[in-house]
């Protein structure tokens, strides 16, 4: 597999995407310490053997590695949960809270926050552009993966997920605290938008028939149907149920063990073995968060070059007039 390279716009991305964007590779990977535009990588890679089989092991850390790095000036820990109140019940020492509803979502339009708002959030949280950011959360990193996706959308050079998330930390009976860190305000610059991991509804409508679509919702949500047999969350948020024609159903949580850790490389390859890793691939769910989790698995654990998350997901597709929809347990 060809190694990723660094670009100031999007951080480390695959050469195929660089060719599509007309950009040239500048820095080879991997090295324990390497240039990333504004400085060197703040923290070394986690050498844990279980991570080394993944395509991009630099994007995942273990609780052992993070425990040894707590308090390091260039490492910032972020907790992002579905239930934001979990942070108040105890969190990893030095961790700050980023609430996906309040902090990462635009307060008026249904969208993520703007580049200017993201930069301001980073300044308020004391996160610098050169910091290594480790994100973790509840529900097998469901919402932490979405926060990771937003950080990637705005090209933060070094962002990683804690394998197993909050569950892994508490299961190991590691220290937690109620103390909220008071980090000095940073000078985070307004970033460019890196769209390599994002697809809009307009672009998807034009390309869905030739793209490889993965619906990561539950089988019930995927099948659709009436309000009696479809998922209650889908019925409440959309006018129509079903799935995008051609999409296969691979639930997002099939990629993690019951203990919330990511499955092994061999198991992930088996789960997605019927698909072609070289084809343009789009993941979607109901509102874009579970989709980001599978996007992370495909992009960084399996190393697929061309994979995008459809942030609008079914909440957008299922509410628009005239959109193609299929119901039942088959793609078409």
- Positions annotated as catalytic residues are 285
**SS3 sequence, the chain?**
CCCCEEECCCEEECHHHHHHHCCCCCCCCCCCCCECCCCECCCCCCCCHHHCCCCCHHHEECHHHHHHHCCCCCEEEEECCCCHHHHHHCECCCCEECCCCCCCECCCCCCECCHHHHHHHHHHHCCCCCCEEEEECCHHHHHHHHHHHHHHHCCCCCEEEECCHHHHHHHCCCCCECCCCCCCCCCCCCCCCCHHHECCHHHHHHHCCCCEEEECCCHHHHHCCCCCCCCHHHHHHCCCCCECCCCEECCHHHHECCCCCECCHHHHHHHCCCCCCCCCEEEECCCCHHHHHHHHHHHHHCCCCCEEECCCHHHHHCCCCCCCCECCCCCC
Contact 260, 165 (CB under 8 A): yes
Residue 37's closest CA among 7, 3, 76?
Answer: 7
Rounded Cα distance between 15 and 120, Å, is 31
Residue 55's closest CA among 299, 259, 240, 314?
Answer: 299
């Amino acid at each position: 597999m060809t190694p990723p390279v660094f670009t100031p716009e999007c951080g480390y991305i695959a050469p195929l995407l660089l060719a599509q964007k007309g950009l040239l590779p500048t820095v080879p990977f991997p090295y324990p310490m390497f240039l990333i535009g504004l400085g060197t990588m703040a923290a070394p890679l986690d050498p844990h053997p279980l991570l080394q089989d993944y395509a991009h092991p630099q994007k995942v850390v273990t609780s052992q590695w993070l425990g040894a790095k707590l308090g390091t000036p260039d490492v910032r820990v972020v907790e992002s949960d579905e239930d934001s109140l979990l942070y108040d019940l105890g969190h990893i020492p030095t961790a700050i809270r980023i609430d996906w509803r309040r902090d990462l979502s635009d307060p008026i339009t249904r969208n993520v926050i703007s580049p200017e708002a993201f930069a301001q959030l980073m300044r308020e949280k004391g996160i610098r552009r050169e910091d290594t950011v480790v994100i973790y959360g509840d529900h097998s990193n469901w919402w932490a993966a979405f926060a990771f996706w937003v950080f990637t959308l705005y090209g933060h050079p070094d962002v990683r997920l804690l394998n197993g998330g909050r569950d892994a930390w508490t299961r190991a009976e590691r220290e937690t605290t109620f103390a909220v860190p008071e980090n000095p305000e940073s000078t985070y610059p307004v970033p460019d938008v890196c769209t390599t991991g994002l697809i809009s509804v307009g672009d998807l409508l034009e390309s869905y028939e030739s793209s490889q679509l993965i619906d990561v919702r539950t089988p019930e949500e995927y099948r659709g149907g009436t309000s009696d047999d479809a998922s209650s969350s889908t019925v409440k948020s959309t006018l129509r149920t079903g799935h995008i024609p051609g999409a296969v159903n691979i639930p997002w949580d099939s990629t993690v063990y019951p203990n919330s850790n990511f499955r092994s490389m061999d198991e992930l390859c088996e789960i997605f073995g019927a698909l072609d890793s070289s084809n343009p691939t789009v993941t979607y769910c109901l509102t874009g968060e579970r989709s980001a989790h599978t996007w992370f698995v495909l992009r960084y654990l399996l190393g697929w070059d061309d994979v995008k998350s459809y942030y609008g997901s079914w909440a957008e597709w299922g509410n628009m007039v005239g959109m193609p929809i299929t119901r039942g347990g088959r793609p078409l």
